[in-house]
Amino acid sequence: MTSTTPPSFEKLVKNFEFVRTLDTNPQIKTVTLLGTIFAKNAIITLEKLHFNENQTHNAAELVTDFDEVTANDVYFWSNASMNSIVGKSDLKTGDKIKINLVYPATEIHIRKYDEQKFHMIKETPEMYKSHVVPYIKEYQNAGRLNWVYNILFHGHEADRIVHNEPDQFILLPDMKWSGHDMDSLYLLAIVYRKDIASVRDLNSSHKEWLISLQNTIKRVVPEKYPQIEDASQLRIFIHYQPSYYHFHVHVVNIKHPGLRDGISVGKALLLDDVIDNLDFLGPEGYAKKNITYVLGENHPLWEKFNQ
């Protein structure tokens, strides 16, 4: 029996064949490209990184190869320079960028990153039960949480973990953060428990657990990153709808210059507000609350809501 060595991150990127541009964002200086690698769909996001004063004085340092690559399931990311990238972009050769790769990319991935129209949705408890719950079960059974379980239970990305609170949560850098510019600090707290898919599963019985989780985050982050002088410089929030249905908390520097809709009304819920609301929502918690949020037409739930 013979085994084959999987292609390196650099080889995957250099075999990327451009199909079309999915999206560009001048505010956060990103371009997302759809293409193929070895005849399979792939999505590459290029992000121009922050330049500090020393870097701008020494342009030779900008011409670098790939930094250490992180990989988990179908997700890869690294820092690189433009002369290492195959594809078209308005970034100049030699510009320092952060590169994310999704490979192989499914149709769901493509729809997520593609340009689309957005709408405000007022989701009632009835809509949640009849449409969202079946979708979450379908989602979880499709293996789309493999990368989460790799981190929690299989030792993936162990060298990137900022803090491991046993039986509670793991805190690590989000793949969207370069790891260098503290103004763009972006961490994720992913909980070990599997019984909470989203804010909809939270009720008054979870209040003390959430307070403890948030207090630990507020204590740990300034300890690990002294540039964050105290917890008031952190924005701690959750998303609804989330990108994946395993409860996690976003932790970003309040100075973060751009997260697209990630911190917008209709997407982000401050964890402090969620905790306070549990005092008023009764034993059913968020399961009985109307929640208004932004939903894109490419999201599978849009089709379900409009059938």
For 196-210, write each residue's pLDDT tens digit.
Answer: 999 999 999 999 999
242 is in an annotated binding site: yes
| Residue 11 marked in a binding site | no
pLDDT band at 2 (very low <50, low <70, confident <90, very high): low
Q: What is the pTM of this model?
A: 0.78
Residues 199, 59: Cα–Cα separation, whole Å: 46
239 is in an annotated binding site: yes
Higher model confidence: residue 36 or residue 263? 36
Q: What's the CATH code, domain 116-305? A: 3.30.428.10
pLDDT of residue 59: 34
Amino acid of residue 92: K
9-109 is a CATH 3.30.200 domain: yes
Give per-residue pLDDT as tens, 22-38.
Answer: 987 756 778 899 999 99
What are 42's strand-pairing partners?
Answer: 35
Residue 248 annotated among the catalytic residues of the structure = yes
Buried b (16+ CB within 10 A) or exposed e, 157-177: beeeebbebeebbbbbbbbbb
Strands 186-191 and 30-37: unpaired
**What pLDDT score was predicted for residue 236?**
97
Mean pLDDT of 111-133: 94
Q: Is 50 annotated as a binding residue?
A: no
Give CA–CA dist 11/8, Å, rounded: 5
- Give the CA distances from residue 77 to residues 37, 153, 170, 178, 293, in Å, rounded to whole numbers and listed in that order: 16, 21, 19, 9, 29
Q: How confident is the model at residue 240 (pLDDT cuts 50, 70, 90)?
A: very high
Query: Annotated binding residue at 240?
Result: yes
Q: Which amino acid is at 109?
A: H
CB atoms closer than 10 angstroms to residue 260: 13
Instruction: Name the catalytic one among 109, 248, 256, 299.
Output: 248
Per-residue model confidence (pLDDT) at position 264: 85
Residue 154 CA to chain centroid, in angstroms? 20
- Taking 50 as the threshold, does the pLDDT of residue 86 lie above it? no
Q: Is 115 annotated as a binding residue?
A: no
CATH 3.30.200 segments of the chain: 9-109
Mean pLDDT of the chain: 86
Query: Which residue spans of the chain are classified as CATH 3.30.428.10?
Result: 116-305
**H or E segment and range at residue 187:** strand 186-191
14 carries a ligand binding annotation: no
| pLDDT higher than threshold 60 for residue 138 | yes
Least reliable range by pLDDT among 92-96, 110-114, 293-297? 92-96
Among residues 185, 115, 108, 169, which one has the least CA distance to residue 142? Answer: 108
Q: Is residue 157 a known part of a binding site?
A: yes
Task: Quickly list H helices, 33-101.
Answer: 53-57
Model pLDDT for residues 216-229, shown as the tens digit of each residue:
999 999 999 999 99
Between CA 93 and CA 214 the distance in angstroms is 42
Does residue 147 have a known ligand-binding role? yes
What is the C-alpha to C-alpha distance for residues 142 and 138, in angstroms, rounded to an integer? 6
Judged against a pLDDT cut of 60, whether residue 63 lies above it is answered with: no
Question: What is the Cα–Cα distance from 13 to 100, expressed in whole angstroms?
Answer: 10
Q: Which residues does residue 31 pair with via DSSP β-bridges, in sequence order?
A: 24, 46
Task: Determine the average pLDDT of the residues in 93-109.
Answer: 78
Neighbour-count burial for 73-96, b at 16+ CB within 10 Å, e otherwise: bbebbbbbbbebbebebebeeebb
Q: Is the pLDDT of residue 57 over 70?
A: no
State percent of the chain over pLDDT 90: 61
Q: 246 a known binding residue?
A: yes
Question: pLDDT class for 67, splitting at 50, 70, 90?
Answer: low
Q: Are 113 and 22 in contact (CB under 8 A)?
A: yes
The closest of 278, 124, 153 to 209, measured between CA atoms, is 278
Rounded average pLDDT over 92-121: 82
